[in-house]
Structure 1
């Protein structure tokens, strides 16, 4: 949403914040996989650029791994020493506790208007935006071109075609015809992609929730989706030797890069991983029940600003700089992620340069992507329950209806606790 409110609206592009000797503390997540490409280098370069134009403001950045960053911020907040800015995985708990600035209190109208609308909408808690999207990704179906050629098959567009392709791959001895990672690492992602692909346009909803944001995990369509997975993929031995509930995304990606997987849902990081190993792969939109899935799963990480120390003016000015087109593009290109602004997305979409072109299939999915219900403070508990239990829905003797109903009960309880 674009708001005409907020003192930062007149600050976009200013060279001075009208204040001096202010230090802003930013805690950020590390998107790199080595010291050579740590996010610290990105932030150091950006901060040097900003501080050279704003001599009265210093930006103190601490970068932590994704394993630690959310806990680090929570510890700081709990100790009464909240950072000014945090770039982490979730914002809703802090918004609900009244600890965050609204986006409209910080950002210029131009910056607010540039965010992709579905990402801005996902940053809302109780219809007000507190979470500012920072990086995004979507999912597509990756397939091994070499294995597909040997099996004489083409990429699927429907579930029936996917099952037929998987059967042909199995006949050729492929270890994982379709890799189905429903293990505790990231089962909530694979689950949501399948829920979305099983939802038709008429019934609406966005996987875990309905059109008004109420959990409907055990809807008949979702039960039908997991019944199909259990009976037509897992039950026919088309997902490989590992029980899906014990098979993690990282293991599935490694197996794909090792040439052992025919196809799987993947995000942009798999491009580099598979390319390094010399795997010849293609990418197509995720198949749906009767045609290409009406929506892909989107994921966004978040920037947020804490009110504890004040400094709204300086925070807003810095964030307007962070979200300048050149800076958004620099980050997205460095880490193979999708831009969160329309201006940077348009540049990337029009570019045929290698790093940009590789992301085009994911960019194509972004306008119709659906995100986790991150604006609900209950989502953390629901996500944890899905990671722990969804694999049982496709296990031998498992009941999709029973498992999804159990998860729905968890979600309903978590939601009512948050509302009380």
Structure 2
């Protein structure tokens, strides 16, 4: 999700939803890996096509990098200038503040029913859906087959100990990043969650309560600190300064032996001719890889401030048509968020669709971020800022996780008090 930070386009056109001269403002995240395939191009084409058939409605789109988009929207809302729509990483805090429309107030029944129950439920706050899933992915371990062969590694790892041994062999063979561990501010919460799940825990328990400082999580980060980072197996850039986009680019350049990746890495690596394999994330000894699958969903949220419910709903019905969902998913190598588009992709004979099937198969059983918790946006931001220090040579995994747990508990207490 590399972006042309701050790239903004004003798209001309019009529309037919009953009111004239309505401008819908949409803030969106960038899923491209270069200026050539910025999400701005996707939204430009989609908005112009919508406007052509809807005289009176104009769609004004601003695209920002994932480093900036959540903060940009937060600042706009705080300034009393909320967009009509925001395609961002979390929604629950805005829902709790009464700033969002419910999905049912906007979407037609067929469109709302087309979201898989797992994603629709993940979009709920206080038993009502406010978060509309926009893009989804799961994570697997990518490995460079050429580097593995040159280092004498014959099979991909299935356990942490095997991963560490393979990383050691890759380092001995001169690989720059034996295992790339991106815990920088772009997407540290994702890499962290994947490791916590593979260690037998996660951010929350079955009841939705935070378990950030669980014994298993402390053990996981301690293992990363001692067995990977401490032994120089994560490359020249400190994990806390390595962003996911940079790690993906290094993999595509043939400099990375292994890393966790989502489907967009497929196209990126293929463009550079990298021969790669993809397998489930290795787990701690005795932990099944089947329970270590992480899913990610990004969200569309509709703000009430400007009162354009009719126009917003009509535009969203267009955005979530099967044709448009498939076009976006295929352009950026992500998983469709509607049942109809997922089925079409599953049945497809297109090579690019076949490559996504392993990710599609994982999604129904994967664990998602606790996006329905109003505290998640703040906790996710704190994880991005702090987690890299936990695995540094002088880091303290117990201290960092205990601090994050305390912050999460405090945030949850405030929410409980505010909602009665």
CA distance in 2, matches of 1:71, 1:219: 29
Equivalent position SS for 2:163: helix
1:225 to 1:92, Cα distance in 2 relative to 1, 3 A: same
Return 234-243 or 343-352, whichever deviates more: 234-243
Distance 1:220 1:83, change over 3 A: same
Structure 1 segment 388-399 matched on structure 2, within 5 A: 388-399=385-396
- What CA distance in whole angstroms lies between the structure 1 residues aligned with 2:391 and 2:81? 45
Distance 2:383 2:60 in 1: 34
- Could you list the per-position Cα deviations for residues 66-99 of structure 1 after superposition, in whole angstroms to 9, with x for gaps in the alignment? 2554444344434434333222332222211111
CA distance in 2, matches of 1:288, 1:326: 37
Q: Is the 8 A contact 1:390 1:403 kept in 2?
A: yes
Matches within 5 A, 1:305-344: 305-344=302-341
Could you report, residue by residue, the CA deviation over 1:190-221 in whole angstroms, capped at 9, with x for unpaired residues? 1100011112xxxxx6x111112111101122
1:392 CA drift (Å): 3.2
* Cα offset, 1:148, TM superposition: 1.2
Question: Deviation at 1:121?
Answer: 1.8
Q: 2:361 — aligned with what?
A: 364
Deviation, 1:36, is: 4.4
Higher mean Cα deviation, 67-76 or 396-405? 67-76
What is the CA distance between 1:243 and its match in structure 2?
3.2
Paired residues in the alignment total: 398
Distance 2:186 2:227 in 1: 24
How far the C-alpha of 1:153 sits from its partner, in A, is 2.3
Q: Match for residue 273 of structure 1?
A: 268
Q: Report whether the alignment pairs 1:292 with 2:292.
A: no
Counterpart CA distance in 2 for 1:40 and 1:238 is 37
Mapped partners of 1:245, 1:46: distance in 2: 37
CA distance in 2, matches of 1:233, 1:331: 36
Structure 2 residue corresponding to 1:385, chosen from 376, 382, 385: 382
1:60 aligns with 2:49: no
| Structure 1 CA distance for aligned equivalents of residues 272 and 139 of structure 2 | 21
Show CA shifts across 1:319-346 (max 9, x none): 2222111110011112222111111111
- Does residue 243 (structure 1) correspond to residue 242 (structure 2)? The answer is no
Whether 1:89 aligns to 2:89 is yes
Structure 1 stretch 220-229 or stretch 99-108: which is displaced more?
A: 220-229
Question: Structure 1's 309 and 139: CA in aligned 2 closer, same or farther, altered over 3 A?
Answer: same
**2:215 corresponds to 1:225:** no
Other structure's SS at 2:291 match: coil
Q: Work out whether residues 27 and 63 of structure 1, in 8 Å CA contact, stay in contact via their aligned partners in 2.
A: yes
Evaluate the alpha carbon distance shift between residue 277 and residue 46 of structure 1 in structure 2; reply closer, same or farther with a 3 A threshold.
closer
Give the superposition deviation at 1:162. 1.6
CA 1:35/1:87 → structure 2, altered by over 3 Å: closer, same or farther?
Answer: same
The equivalent residue for 1:31 is: 31
SS at match of 1:358: helix
Q: Residues 399 and 69 from structure 1, CA distance in 2 versus in 1: closer, same or farther, beyond 3 angstroms?
A: closer
Query: Contact 2:283–2:292 (CA<8 Å) still a contact in 1?
Result: no
Mapped to 1, the partners of 2:233 and 2:34 lie a distance apart of 35
Contact 1:26/1:87 (<8 A) preserved: no
Name the residue aligned to 2:101: 101
Q: What's the CA shift for 1:22?
A: 5.5
For the aligned residue pairs, the C-alpha RMSD in angstroms reads: 2.5
Q: Per the alignment, in what secondary structure is the counterpart of residue 185 of structure 1?
A: coil
Q: What's the offset of the Cα at 1:277? A: 2.5
1:417 is displaced (CA, Å) by: 2.9
| Structure 1 segment 37-56 matched on structure 2, within 5 A | 37-55=37-55
Measured against aligned partners, the alpha-carbon deviations of 1:290-333 in whole angstroms (never above 9, x if no partner) come to: 34241422222211222233332332232222211111001111
